[in-house]
Amino acid sequence: MKKIILALFVLLASTAAVFAQSDLQVLAVVKYNKSESITVKQLKARCDTYEKQMGKKLTVDERKQVLDALIEEKLVLQAAAKTGINISDSNVDQYFLQTMSQQVGAMVTEKELNEMIQKAQGITLDQLLQSQTGMNTSEYKAFLKNQLIAQQYVISQKQAEIQKVAATDEQIRQFYESNKTSFVWNDMMKMFMVVYPKGANPEDTKVKVNELRNKLADKKMTAEQIEAQAQAGGYQAGHILLQKTEAYAYQLGMTYNNLMWLFEQKDDVVLDIQETEQDFRIVKVVKKYGAKMLSISDIVQPDSTITVYDYIRGNLTQQLQMQALTAAATEVSKSLHTNENVDLKKSGDALTKLLDWGN
């Protein structure tokens, strides 16, 4: 019996080794600026990302397309490196947070984003990204970095052509008519807020905050004067335009019920000092704006000079330029994808066999 168990163990170990060797097989070598291999394992990882996003398994032909995309991605990245194009990690972090903030409807830090996800879904940001993309946060940021570098290289090569693309008046007006009901103001409020850290002596700080609050309420100091002195005074101050949503309440560190209460206050009123665990706050309700439908000539938000027409023109032009960028990226990558720059190690039936790793 021991011999049989030992034989089975050896067989299983050998099978695992075969799979490991298969995953390490090189499918192609990209050599535009340096020599880089693409293995079966790398292709599987990228296919796994696409399968999670699409919710289905890729066919062998689709996996071949992903392989071509991987080859061309490396070609463009090598070309970008040759011309000195790079993106800093801080810019990648900023882009990542901007993208995520758009999804939750408010600007958040990575810590706040993680807390929101844990509260709403009971999982971490890492786990959410892993389930959606097959990558954790750091891996996803590395992927984003490569995409941004590739994009910058394509723009450097095709900038003049891309910038010529612009939305026409007819396209702008057609878009407005087709999406008229989406151009609305939600209930909004412009407020002035001062956030004063409690510091080592909260009671002394509260006295200072109360003096500042009374000066604002008695019109002995304007909001602009208080804001100008913020850095020297050791506090933060500024005007905020917020909507009546839970996301905005979270951003301000208050409950949605407290936000609703704020909307019930009169315009141009300075409220009593608000206290949190970390700070004291002065809040002045400047003006409230009721929900309404917007015409094409209306401004998109209070205190703005941008009309709905301008807003649509900017967004449509951006979309058209992104389409032009995608077409340019295909053109640039295909021009680099030559026999001189790429050494295919597997092709034909041998490639098909390697890519048919089952569903």
Check whether 221 has a pLDDT greater than 90: yes
Contact 216, 226 (CB under 8 A): yes
Radius of gyration of the chain (CA): 28
Reported confidence tier of residue 21, pLDDT bands at 50, 70, 90: low
Between CA 332 and CA 153 the distance in angstroms is 9
Check whether 343 has a pLDDT greater than 60: yes
pLDDT digits (tens, 9 = 90+) for 318-334: 999 999 999 999 999 99
CA–CA distances in Å: residue 338 to residues 27, 123, 330, 333, 351: 16, 45, 14, 10, 19
pTM over 0.95: no
Determine the length of the chain: 359
- Greater confidence (224 vs 53) lies with 224
- The reported pLDDT for the residue numbered 253 is 76
Q: The tokens 């292709």 sit on which residue?
A: 43
Report the SS3 class of residue 62.
helix
- The reported pLDDT for the residue numbered 314 is 96
* The 342-344 sheet, strands edge to edge: 36-39, 26-30, 342-344
Kindly state the tokens that stand for 41: 């394992």
pLDDT (average), residues 210-217: 95
pLDDT digits (tens, 9 = 90+) for 144-200: 999 999 999 999 999 999 999 999 999 999 999 999 999 999 899 999 999 999 999
Of 115, 98, 116, the closest CA to residue 107 belongs to 98
Residue 54 makes CB contacts below 8 A (sequence gap 6+) with none
- The reported pLDDT for the residue numbered 359 is 58
Q: The tokens 């041998």 sit on which residue?
A: 350
